[in-house]
Amino acid sequence: MRKTAFITGASSGIGWATAVALGRAGFQLVLTGRRRERLEALVQELGDVPTHLLTFDVRDRAAVDAAVQTLPAAFQDIDVLINNAGNAHGLSPIQEGNPQDWDDMLDGNVKGLLYVSRAVLPSMTRRKTGHIINIGSIAGHETYANGNVYCASKAAVAALTKGMRLDLLPQHIRVAEVNPGAVETEFSEVRFKGDKERAATVYKGFEPLRASDVADLIEFMVTRPAHVNIAEVLILPAAQGAAATIRKE
């Protein structure tokens, strides 16, 4: 019998790659995101992997709750939750920051993680089993100039992961965090408001991680024996030594 993995932000980047990896590993998938057409394209790539699609914005608590309530019986018992949805907006000193960008990052990266976890946890606590992986960032452990609110939001993910692990320990639910460094996805394009040229410069001169590199790590973590919890991982490209320190050729 296939286990069920619930992946947020599956319409691109790490979420998409994780869906491919876990589908290959034998999971059935609940794929969520805001872009239905992208999720449907992912289903085509997955082939015969059993999937169910949910379209919602993690920042909308009512939409999250309503969507999870619609899961068909075959997908209701969630074994693995990948809290991947999140965003970065802007790269400005704090005195010049856009408050709407701040709201978007805190609502998506922190509150969205909470809303989805709260909606999915009843299926885990009822069965006293489950595995949650929160996608953090090196930015949650090393603050860099102009990263202020984004770094703060990912630091919150780190604190929440530790808190969740403690709170859910009696429920036999494993909780872990994956902290990527520089990964070439749509991340920088979103941060720079669709400026593809500026986004491309972020990854010039070195080989960044690919989304599939992070997905491979997640697949390894969720396929360990039940007595093993790889609780926290920092994954960097070989050319990166710290959040803002990258060797470029």
The H-or-E segment that residue 66 falls in is helix 61-69
Q: Cα(240)–Cα(184) distance, rounded to whole angstroms?
A: 13
Closest CA to 79 of 120, 25, 19, 31: 120
Q: Give the Å distances, CA to CA, from 217 to 16, 51, 72, 171, 186.
A: 14, 22, 29, 25, 20
Q: Which are the contacts of 170, defined by CB distance < 8 A and separation ≥ 6?
A: none
Q: Cα(152)–Cα(225) distance, rounded to whole angstroms?
A: 33
Tokens matching residue 9: 């932000």
Closest CA to 107 of 52, 167, 43, 153: 153
Which pLDDT score is estimated for 77? 98
Q: Cα(210)–Cα(231) distance, rounded to whole angstroms?
A: 22
Q: 142 - beta bridge partners?
A: none
The H-or-E segment that residue 212 falls in is helix 211-222
Q: Say if residues 42 and 11 touch (Cβ distance below 8 Å).
A: yes
- Domain carrying residue 80: 4-246
Angle 86-52-5 from CA coordinates, rounded to 5°? 60
CATH number of the domain bearing residue 11: 3.40.50.720
Kind of pairing between the strands at 240-242 and 245-246 = antiparallel
For 53-87, write each residue's pLDDT tens digit: 999 999 999 999 999 999 999 999 999 999 999 99
Which pLDDT score is estimated for 70? 98
Full pLDDT tens readout for the chain, 249 residues: 899 999 999 999 999 999 999 999 999 999 999 999 999 999 999 999 999 999 999 999 999 999 999 999 999 999 999 999 999 999 999 999 999 999 999 999 999 999 999 999 999 999 999 999 999 999 999 999 999 999 999 999 999 999 999 999 999 999 999 999 999 988 888 888 888 888 888 999 999 999 999 999 999 999 999 999 999 999 999 999 999 999 998
Question: Residue 55 in 3-state DSSP?
Answer: strand
Q: How many domains does the chain have?
A: 1
Query: Which is catalytic among the residues 115, 144, 150, 203?
Result: 150
Tokens matching residue 42: 């992912």
Q: Give the Å distances, CA to CA, from 6 to 54, 77, 117, 204, 236.
A: 10, 10, 10, 33, 25
Q: Cα(208)–Cα(206) distance, rounded to whole angstroms?
A: 6
Q: Cα(189)–Cα(185) distance, rounded to whole angstroms?
A: 8
Q: Say if residues 117 and 84 touch (Cβ distance below 8 Å).
A: no
Q: Say if residues 151 and 109 touch (Cβ distance below 8 Å).
A: no
Catalytic: 150? yes
